[in-house]
Amino acid sequence: MLTTNPKPARMSRMDEVGRGVYPFCGPCTATSEAWRAAEVRGPMGGRFYGHRDVCENCGSSVRTLYKTVLWVPVSKVGRYRIVPTGGRSYVGRKVIEQPLRTVVRREPVSAIAQYPELDGTPDYKQAEAYWLDREPGQALPHYQAALAEREQLLGADDPATLRVRLRVAQGLLATANYGRAIAWFELLTPQLVEVFGSHHELTRTAAEAVTGARLMVGGPRSEAQLLADIVAADVSSGADAQLLRDQAALGKAQLACGDISDAVETLIEVVRHAVPGHPDTAVYRSALAEACEVAEARGKKRDVQLAGAARQLLNRADAPTST
Ligand SMILES: [Zn+2]
């Protein structure tokens, strides 16, 4: 029997616009930043006014928060994108106000000047040759080897290492390893933003590629399933760095599905086993902090308890950090 199902159309629309931090859509997430709602009740507090730029994808709208004294608005605090979650509760993100002048960023400096041999290693040269020949599948193992060389000498977040990390992610995407590609892009994108800036060509390439990978996978639910299978395979092969990366992506996919306590649990595991002093650890910690914010904002008892445990882990002196 044929039935009309409105869901696929909506899913593909959601994919087209990219995925955001639940319950916000991609564009609404990209134009806002995580924000922890302060207490905004009582005579000295805050109150939202206005209701602008309603998003047809996620239903959020932009509201202006005013500080109030005796319930009278006295000063503007800022603009927030809000999704009501029933009654007086809501989830909010702070709208990123565009700076008046665009800051021109300089190209970041790599430590590769001290290790010029890295550009001449057999693996790197072979990888580049295959890449130029449009053979990403052939290039992939050589880029993976070149990446190991660079991470060892330059560090994981050196600009020259990040360029090869991007090639590895692109190679995985080109060879239809969508789950592992998504995991790489998620780890890589915040590092590209940090080192090159959000408008750099490399950052935009990564953002577009992850959107493409998601289109192939087809929605957060299938992405979470795919990544759960990949994580299970990683566990049995004992590949540590790969396991952490894939598990972090699984946590983010669970968050995108609205499986918030699963997401917090998965990301707790990642942070627990993250490598101290490694730049990737900062990305994993902020993914966990973001999941906590969503859990706390939604306010379900089990989610909030788990978020409390996660925050304790993040605050512990012996918990892994990137420094
Ligand atoms: Zn939206």
Q: Residue holding tokens 């490694």?
A: 278
Could you tell me where the DSSP H helices lie in the chain? Answer: 7-16, 26-30, 122-132, 136-154, 159-174, 178-196, 201-217, 220-237, 240-257, 260-273, 279-298, 301-315
Ligand 1 centre to CA of 28 (Å) is: 4
Domain at 156, CATH number: 1.25.40.10
Ligand 1 centre to CA of 49 (Å) is: 19
Answer whether residue 117 is part of any domain: no
* pLDDT confidence bin for 293, thresholds 50/70/90: confident
Q: Are residues 211 and 178 in the same domain?
A: yes
Contact present, 47 and 64 (Cβ < 8 Å): no
Ligand 1 centre to CA of 9 (Å) is: 17
Tens-place pLDDT, residues 266-276: 999 999 999 99
Answer whether residue 11 is part of any domain: no
pLDDT > 70 fraction of the chain, expressed in percent and rounded: 88
Q: Residue holding tokens 């041999």?
A: 117
Listed residues 168, 202, 217: the one ending a domain: 217
Tens-place pLDDT, residues 167-194: 999 999 999 999 999 999 999 999 998 8
Q: Is the pLDDT of residue 245 over 60?
A: yes
The boundaries of the domain holding residue 294 are: 220-315
Count: domains in the chain:
3
Q: Are residues 231 and 303 in the same domain?
A: yes
Ligand 1 centre to CA of 163 (Å) is: 31
Answer whether residue 164 is part of any domain: yes
Q: Are residues 88 and 132 in the same domain?
A: no
Q: Are residues 160 and 207 in the same domain?
A: yes
Ligand 1 centre to CA of 223 (Å) is: 20
Distance between CA atoms of residues 192 and 160, nearest Å: 11
Contact present, 159 and 108 (Cβ < 8 Å): yes
Q: Are residues 205 and 226 in the same domain?
A: no
Q: Are residues 150 and 77 in the same domain?
A: no
